[in-house]
Amino acid sequence: MTEVKEKDNLWVIVGGCIVFMIVVVMFLKGEKSDHLKSGAVAQLQAETFANLEKRKTRNDVTDAQKAGK
């Protein structure tokens, strides 16, 4: 009888995983600054600073709160 040798697919699977990881990293790298383009971060930052200014100018806050501590 002749033996049938099975094909070893380990390197194909490892290579596929590496290619998949590279594609995911490239996709995430392209998406990393999209949230900055929408203006949502700048709007939230402006609202935050406005609220901080309101808190500092209120009469019932302590000096430590006015100093931002």
Q: What is the pLDDT of residues 18-61, one digit of tens each?
A: 999 999 999 988 777 666 667 777 888 889 988 888 876 666 66
**Residue 46 lies inside a defined structural domain of this protein:** yes
Of residues 2 and 23, more confidence is placed in 23
Distance CA(14)–CA(28), nearest Å, equals 21
This prediction has a pTM of 0.43
Q: Is residue 57 part of a domain?
A: yes
Q: Establish if 61 belongs to a structural domain.
A: yes
* Helix-, strand-, coil-residue percentages of the chain, each rounded to 5: 70, 0, 30
**Residue range of the domain that includes 25:** 10-66
Query: Is residue 1, in this structure, part of any structural domain at all?
Result: no
CB 55 within 8 A of CB 65: yes
Note the pLDDT of residue 52: 84
Taking the C-alpha atoms of residue 55 and residue 60, their distance in angstroms, rounded to an integer, is 9
